[in-house]
Amino acid sequence: MSALVLNSVWGLAIDWPYTATAGASGGRLAGPFNLERPPVTALFRPANAEDISAIYKFTSKADSGLTTVPKTKQAVTEYVSESLDFLAHKPGANRLLFVAEREGKILGISGIIPRLGVDRPFYSFKRSRHARKASQLDLSVRYDTLQLTTDFDDYTELATIFIDPESRGSGAGRLLSIGRLGFIHAHRDRFEKDLMADIRGWVDEDGVSPFWKHLTSRFIQTNFDEADHHSAGDAAFIVELLPALPILMNLLPEAAANCAGKPHDLSAGAMNLLLSAGFQDTDLCDIFDGGPAIRCRTDRTLISQTVYQATGGGVAESECKYLHFTGEGKNFRAAIGAAYPGAEKAGREACDALGTITPLVALAQNRRG
């Protein structure tokens, strides 16, 4: 049975299924090809007030270790409100929240902190390697130290990312992660010259962080969740309680030392995705769970390095995935689909989701995936 469907991109009423041959005029369609009912493409956009209940429905179930995920309705409301304030250029707003949705269902959230170090210093541990050799004996030693630092102040942070458990495996993770880089590229003057991401640290099978257990909790003597909660407010206690002198890692249990810079098993994929998008490893890690920190120059991301202005849509398949994005502020939208950069063409499905055939298009994955 066929159905009459209005194609929102080309403004055509098409009787599905339909076979068409496109001419060269305008360069908008590549043919001949078969038009079939297009699958619904997930859309990335800034969160708004109507999303609050849907977001809270799945973030309220988030693991306690995901301390940056807003788990109460009030926390979600405050996050969305501040995000809307930032989009409206209101002073003091320093958080952005985005959603990925498909057919009206919110699949997940991701965030940006436009500038670290505005309200309080952003603390990390910096790992350094040392070597010593005895002058009179055939003895030598190598050891690492951790030193409290604020190296990431004045960076833009790619922050919260959380996918509704029911939507995992849907491809929403890539869109939620890379979509932020598209937004930053489209609003370059509102972000810093460097980007960073703090990856969740490794925990054992009981959900315990050896790094916290054997190192940080010896100085900040409270539970992990409470310490991380306090760090989002007045973080003065961090510099007041953690040692000012370097911490000798060879004095720590091996389980703790090995956790410095090691990602959580469930976060390794997200980390690798950002590494493939231009980010690089650093010698810095989180002060609570030892999770790795990665960084990238804002103008050197995969998005910024491969972006082009599409002159038309219609591409149905391509070897790589491409981020398509358009609009500004609260009207920003992004989707992932096929593209043909050699002819500056965009993907049919992504264009239909965005409502334009001339979006900005950039690689959403490097050549290795």
Has 264 been annotated as catalytic? yes
- Among 357, 350, 309, 335, residue whose Cα is nearest residue 45: 335
**Cβ atoms of 234 and 100 closer than 8 Å:** no
Q: Which of 130, 214, 230, 264 is catalytic?
A: 264
What's the full length of the chain, in residues? 369
d(CA 253, CA 257): 6
Q: Are 156 and 321 in contact (CB under 8 A)?
A: no
Residue 310 DSSP one-character state: -
- Give CA–CA dist 99/114, Å, rounded: 17
3-state helix vs strand vs coil in the chain, percent to 5: 30, 30, 40
Buried b (16+ CB within 10 A) or exposed e, 327-359: beeeebbbbbbbbbbeeebbbbbbbbbbebbbb
DSSP type of residue 244: S
- d(CA 115, CA 122) in angstroms, rounded, equals 10
Euclidean distance between the first and final Cα of the chain, in Å? 38
Active-site residues: which are they?
A: 264
